[in-house]
Amino acid sequence: MSSVTLKSVTKSYGQTEVIRGVDIEIEKGEFCVFVGPSGCGKSTLLRMIAGLEDITSGDVAIGGRRVNELDPAQRGTAMVFQSYALYPHMTVERNMGFGLLMNGEPKAKVKAKVDEAARILQIEQLLDRKPRQLSGGQRQRVAIGRAIVRDPAVFLFDEPLSNLDAELRVATRLELAKLHSQLDGATMIYVTHDQVEAMTLADKIVVLRGGYVEQVGAPLDLYNNPANLFVAGFIGSPRMNLIAVKDGKLPDGTALPAAAAGAGHIGLRPDALAPDAGGILSGVITVVERLGDADFVYFRTPWGQELTTRFAPGTAGGAGDAIRLGVTGKMHVFDSNGQAIPA
Amino acid sequence: MTTLTLRRRLWLSRIDYLFLIPGLLIFGAFILWPMLASFYYSTLDWTGFGENAKFVGLKNFTDLLHDEFFYAAFRRSFSFMLMTVPIQMLLALVLAIILNNKLLKLSTFFRAMIFLPVVTPVAVIGIIMVLLLSPFNGPINGLLLDTGLVTRVVDFLGSPTIVLWTLAVIYVWKWTGITLIYWLAALQTVPDELYEAAKLDGVKSWQVMVYMVMPIIAPFAGVIALISAINALNVFPLIQSTTQGGPFFSSEVMEVYIFRTAFAPASGQFPRLGYASAAGVIFGLSIIALTIVQAILMRRIRRKEPTHG
Amino acid sequence: MADVMTHKDPFFTPRRRRQLVSVLLAALSAIWVYPLVWMIFASFKPNSELFSNPGMIPDAPTVENYVRAWREANISTYFFNTLFVTVGSVVITSIASALMGYVLGRRPVPGRFAIMGLMVFTLFIPQGYTIIPVFELLTKLGLGQSLWGLMLATCGHSIVVFTLLFAGYFTQMPKELEEACRMDGVGPVKTFVYVMLPLAKPIIVTVVVMQSLQAWNDFLLPLVITLANPAMRTLSVGIYSFKGENFVDWGGMTAASTIAIVPIILLFLFLQRYFIDGLAGAVKG
C-alpha cells in the first residue's frame, strides 16, 4: 500500500503532446478513478505510472520514491489489462504464478499465494483450466488474481470492465468495490470512460480531457459542485441540462433569478426541475422513457434545445403535450469561460 | 531527454540483436553473400580449385553472348515456364473449385492424392519416369501399344522433339498439388454468405464463379503465377535426374547449363566457375526483373479497383 | 424460351452430381498416384519379372531388392546421411527463424525494416545462382567435405520464407502479453521462451514439416557437395547415382526409391494440415 504522486507530468510522441502537465496526489489506500472521453490521455497516464510508457518530463513517485527510471517490475505495481492479457497456453494457476516463478520464488510459496488469491476471488475450482475455457467474467477474475498474487503496492486497472456485457459489468463493479476493502484498502488506480463506474467505485475521481486534469475530487463533490461546464456535462446520468444564457435571460427572453447575472451558461440537473405553472422553462414533450421507478421526459424548448427532466413514475404526459417547469433544485452557474461561479 | 538517442535505442535492443544473430548468419552466409559473390566470380577466369583465378572483367559476359548453348538454355528455361505455368494454374484452379465444395465428402482425401507427387523427392520421380516411360519394356509404352494408340514405341525422354513436352507433363504432374493448395487458400477468402446469398437470389453457379468469386481471388492469381513461374525456372532437379539435359542438349535449361559448366564439364574440359557464375548472374537478374515487372503490373491492376484493400 | 423451372434435368440432382464428381475425382486420383503405386509394387518384383510381367501385382513378391539396395548400394549410409542433414537443419532453421521472426515481427529494433526489405528482395533468387559461392564458402570454411557443411547450407534454402511466416504470426499477437510479462518482471529471453514460442506452435510445426520436406528432397546442393565424396551422398543423390551406375537393376532402384519416399510420405499423411496451412500462409502473406 503506497501513495502515488504525479508532479508536472507530460508525455509527447514526437511533436504531439498527449499529457500536458498533470499533477495528481493519490493517498495510501485510496481508490482513484481516471475518467474522461476516449483520447483524453487517461490510459497513457496509467501506463506511465506502470512504466510501460516513458515519462517525457515531470516526476512520478510511488510510496515517496521517484520511479521514472525504474523497470515496471520494480515499481511495486500490478496491472489488470483491458484485454486481460492472460497467457492463452497456461492454466489459470500458472497464469497467476508465472511472474513469481520466473523470478525464482520457491514453488511452494507461489502455490500458497495463488491459492490465497484464488480463495479471495472464489476461483479455486478453475485453477486447472485454460483461459479459453473460461467465461469473460472468470477471465477477468484471473487477471485480477494475477495482480493480487504479486502483492503490489498499487493496483492499476485499465478499463477492466469494458469487455463484459452490461449485466456482468454491474456485478463485477460490486465485486471490485468489495475487493478493495478485502485487500485492506490497497491503493488502486482505475481507468474508465464510464462515469457511472467512476461514481460508484471511486474515493477520488480525476476527470481528464485533452491531456489536462479538469477536476479532482470525491464523486459527490464533482456531482454537486462541478468546476466547469465539461465536468458538469460529463458527470451524472442523465446529463445535466446546460443552457446558454445572456444578460441574465434565457434565449426566449425569460428573466432568471439574480444568481445568474453575468452567467454564460446555467446548468440544471434533470431532477432539479418539476412541473410548475409559473415556471421559467416551457416546452413540448418529444419522448417519454418509462423506467418503472421514474419517467424521463425529453422536451423541446421554444429555442429548439432538447432538455431532460425526471417525473415520478406514471405522472408524465405523452409526446406532444406542452409542459412548463420550475427550478426546485440547485442551479449551477458558469461564467463565459465555462468556469463555475460559486453560489 | 524527450527522444531516445539512436545509441541508447541500439543498447536497449541488445538482446533483440542477439536473437537475430543465428538467422542473420545463415541468411548472410548462404543467401546474401552468394548473391554478391556471384557478381565477383562472374568476372573471373577460374577453374575452381587453387589460386588460378584470373580477373577478366566482363569477358565472360561477352563470351556468353556468343555461346549458342547459353542462348538455347536461356530460351528453353523461359519456354518451359510458358509451357507449364498456364496449364498448371488452370488445372489446379478447376480442381480447387471442385474440391472447395464443402459437401464433397472425400475432398481432403483427393487433395492429399493430388499432393503426393509434391512431397516425393525429385530423384525418385526421375527414376520412376525413366522406368515407366522407357522405350524398352516400359509399362506406358506397353499400354499404348496394347491399346493400339501407337504402332511404334515412343521414346518420351529420348527424342529431342518431344522430350521437353514430356518433361513439362511430368513437371505439371509433380507440382499441380501445390498450386491447388494456393488456389484453395484463395478460395477460402470468399465468404460463405456470398454463395448462400447467390443461391437465394437464384444466381447460377457458373455466374457466381465468374462474376463474384473470380474478382475476389484475382489478386491472388498474380502471386500464384509469380511463385509458379519462378518455380518453373528452377527445374534443375527434375531435368538432371531424368535426362541430364539430353538428348543432345535438347532439354538443357539454364540451371543444368550452369551445373554442367561449373561442376560437370565434358571429359577433357576444365570446369569454368567464373563463366558459369556469369550465366548465373544473367539468369538471376532476369528473374529479379520478372519479379519486379510482375509486382508493378499487380500494383497497377490493384490501383484500378480501389475497393480491394 | 422453355420454362426455366423445368429446364434442369431432374436426374442431375445436386447429390447425384456430387456423386458423379466424386467418381471422376477418384479416377483422376488413381491415375495421379499410379506412378508411385507402380513403383512400390515393382520394388517387390525380382528383376527378371520386372521386364516380363507388365501387370502391377508381383507374381512372386520378394524383398531381395531391398536387401541388395540397403547393403550393396549403400542406401543405408545414404539414409542416415539424409536423416542427419534433415534433423540438424530442421533444428537450426526453426530456432533461427523463430528468433529472427520474433524480433523482426514485433520488436522496435532500429534497422528491422532494412533487414526485412533485404530478405524479401532475395526471396526469389534461384538456387542455380547461388550454388557456386555456397560451395566455395563451405570449402573455405573446411566444411566442403562434411555433412555438417551440407546441413548448414541446407538451412539457407527457406530461412527467409520461414522468418516471414514467424514475423507475420508474431506481429498479430496482442502486445499486452509482453506488457504483462514486463509488469511481472519476466525478462525478454524468458518471455520469448515461455510465452511467445509456445503460442507460435502452429508455425513451428509448419516450419518443421516444410524444412523436413525440403531437406529430405534436396537435390542440387547435396549433388554438388558430394560430387567428390560419394560416402556423404543423401538418398536423393544416392538414388540418382544408382541410376547412372546400375542402370539394369530396376528392382534395386525402385526399392531404394521406396525407402526414400516412405518417411516423407508418412510425415505428410500424418501432418497434412500443417503442410497445407504453411503453404496457404505463404501465399496469403
Extents of the domains making up chain C: 25-62, 73-284
Reported CATH class of domain C73-284? mainly alpha
Q: Which residues of C touch B216 (CB under 8 A)?
A: none
pLDDT digits (tens, 9 = 90+) for C46-89: 877 776 766 777 777 888 888 888 888 888 899 999 999 999 99
- Whether residue B163 lies inside any domain: the answer is yes
Q: What is the H or E stretch that residue A243 is in? A: strand A241-244
What is this model's ipTM? 0.84
State whether C137 and B139 contact (CB < 8 Å). Answer: no
User: Across residues A309-314, what is the average pLDDT?
Assistant: 88
Residue window 116-145, chain B: list those with CB within 8 Å of chain C: 116-117, 119-132, 137, 139, 142-143
State whether B3 and A57 contact (CB < 8 Å). Answer: no
Q: What is the CA radius of gyration of chain C?
A: 25
pLDDT for residue B170: 93
- Whether residue B87 lies inside any domain: the answer is yes
Chains that touch B (3 or more CB pairs under 8 A): A, C
Question: Based on the structure, what is the number of domains in chain B?
Answer: 1
Reported CATH class of domain A238-334? mainly beta
Which among B38, B106, B137 has the least Cβ separation from residue C130?
B38
Nearest residue to B215 via CA among B305, B296, B278: B305
Name the one residue in this structure whose C-alpha cell is 519416399.
C261
Q: Which of A44, A79, A146 has the highest number of chain C CBs within 10 A, making it the mutation to test binding with C?
A: A79
Residue A69 sits at the chain C interface (C-beta within 8 Å): no
Nearest residue to A94 via CA among C205, C99, C184: C184
Calpha distance B49→B52 (Å, rounded): 7
pLDDT for residue B175: 92
Burial label for A159, CB within 10 Å (0-12, 13-18, 19+), is: buried
pLDDT digits (tens, 9 = 90+) for A102-128: 988 899 999 999 999 999 888 999 999
Residue A170 above 50 pLDDT? Answer: yes
Locate CATH 3.40.50.300 in chain A: 4-233
Q: Chain B residue with minimal CA distance to C104? A: B20
Say which residues have a Cβ less than 8 Å from residue A119's Cβ, sequence separation at least 6: none
- Whether residue B24 lies inside any domain: the answer is no
Print the domain residue range for B64.
Answer: 42-304
Locate CATH 2.40.50.140 in chain A: 238-334
Distances (CA, A) of B157 to B48, B129, B131, C223: 32, 9, 10, 22
pLDDT for residue B189: 83
- Whether residue B31 lies inside any domain: the answer is no
Residue A81 sits at the chain C interface (C-beta within 8 Å): yes
Reported CATH class of domain A4-233? alpha beta
Least confident of A78-87, A129-138, A231-240, C10-19: C10-19
Q: What is the H or E stretch that residue A179 is in? A: helix A166-182
Residue C5's pLDDT band, with cuts at 50, 70 and 90, is: very low
- Whether residue B7 lies inside any domain: the answer is no
CATH number reported for the structural domain that contains residue B199 in this entry: 1.10.3720.10
- Whether residue B3 lies inside any domain: the answer is no
pTM (2 decimals)? 0.83
Calpha distance B208→B200 (Å, rounded): 12
Residue A221 above 50 pLDDT? Answer: yes
